[in-house]
Amino acid sequence: MFSKKKFLAVMLSVTAVFSAQAVTTEGQAMDYKPFPHMFVNLQGGMQTTLTNYSQADLITGTASVSFGAMFTRAIGARLHVNGAWNKGGVSTSERDFRYDYNYITTNADLMLNILGFIPSMKQSPWGVFVIGGVGLNTAWNNDDASSVNAAAGRQLLTGAWDGTRLSHNLRVGCMAEYSINRLISINAEVDANSLSDRFNSKLSDCDDWQITAQVGVAFKFGYKKKPVVLPPPEIWETRTDTIWYEEPELRDRYENGVAEWNVFYRIRESEFEHQIDNSAEAQLKAIGTFLKDHTECKISVKSYADKQTGTPKLNLKYSKERNENAIEALKKAGVKPDVIVETGYYGDTVQPFADNDKNRVTIIRATGLRDVKDTVMVKKFRTEEVRYRVQ
């Protein structure tokens, strides 16, 4: 006879094997579909069969193993095997007696997860199942059948029997489950099983009700990997882009240059070097710089005398000397003769300034063209080959 201790040892061994596999697999890639998947559920708890005998004396341990699948979050099915040890009992006016026997119940159950029908709870680790199913119940090894039959008579003892008995099993129950991770969950289940009147000695033909309450651990497996969605192939093309930009550029421009220098003299003096302000050297240097910086230069030299001193004849003489001395100084400074294109001396007939003393003067005027470099921003473009992705 298969003892209770051996049965519990087998159940613990199976649980240990599945737990080790679950821990190992949990470290692997999580790229999987949550449904469908399969499971093995191991449970243990208590059971009793309702009768007119004292129920406290009929409670025994029970264990279950089931194999099933969850097709969706809400719908699943399982093959469930429950059994171990049971007790029957009968109370009559003549006597009360109790007997032990073994049984196994096999059921095909439909499992409906109520939370799976609620959209907001689809990601919850909890599950609340309504369970219903049909199956067969087998009982044997009635240890008190012979003594009962001998003592009370076979016609009264419907719970005492010899050999093996087979009956239907109709089940309705509920189960609460909590998923620790994708491979392991724990659960608590209460079932009511309707059996034919085989397992106690009530004096009626009504079916017996067996109540089981169990807790267990389920090991889930058989997940399918999510299909790998490859990105669409990349398609590249080439185009020619026109790039516009601005670039600084130097451009030549000629502008008219004009410079004028005044050579002021004392009374009765006409030497270029004897200017009142002693600026002869600076003036010659400035004229040379102008000629260097300009092209097509022309110089005019005109000399005058003040009207309030001397006579017209004498003033004309002084203006002529002043003019000749100025031209000679320019030539000595390096001015080419062909650059001096206009000369004249006017005595006191022309008074260029309102201040009389300033009219003892030679006026040197230079003109020319200056080459100027202007910086302008020029709009330009270039073409580039550009690769771009179209898909």
The answer, yes or no, to whether residue 11 has pLDDT greater than 80, is no
- Give the Cα separation of 314 and 310 in Å (integer): 6
pLDDT at 29: 44
Cβ(317)–Cβ(292) below 8 Å: no
The sign of the torsion formed by the CA atoms of 217, 17, 9, 80 equals positive
Strand partners, 299: 340, 366
235, 238, 242, 245 alpha-carbon torsion, rounded to 10°: 70
Condensed to tens digits (0 to 9), the pLDDT of residues 229-264 reads 888 888 999 999 999 989 888 877 778 889 999 999
Specify the range with the lowest mean pLDDT, choosing from 53-62, 115-124, 218-227, 238-247.
53-62
The answer, yes or no, to whether residue 52 has pLDDT greater than 70, is no
The answer, yes or no, to whether residue 390 has pLDDT greater than 90, is no
Domains along the chain?
4-20+30-225 (2.40.160.20), 246-376 (3.30.1330.60)
Non-local CB neighbours of 333 within 8 Å, separated by 6+ positions: 284, 287, 288
Confidence of residue 3 (pLDDT cuts 50, 70, 90): low
Task: Please compute the mean of the pLDDT values over residues 210-224 and round it to a whole number.
Answer: 93
Specify the range with the lowest mean pLDDT, choosing from 33-37, 93-97, 199-203.
199-203
Strand partners, 145: none
Max mean pLDDT range (29-43, 98-112, 352-366): 352-366
Query: Per-residue b/e over 69-99, b at no fewer than 16 CB within 10 Å?
Result: bbeebbbbebebebbbbbbbbbbeeeeebbb
pTM, full prediction: 0.53
**What radius of gyration, in Å, describes the C-alpha atoms of the chain?**
63
In the DSSP assignment, the letter for residue 357 is G
Cβ(158)–Cβ(201) below 8 Å: yes
The number of CA neighbours under 13 Å toward the Cβ of 97 is 20
Tell me what percent of the residues of the chain surpass a pLDDT of 90: 47
SS3 content of the chain, % helix, strand, coil (to 5): 20, 50, 30
The answer, yes or no, to whether residue 351 has pLDDT greater than 90, is yes
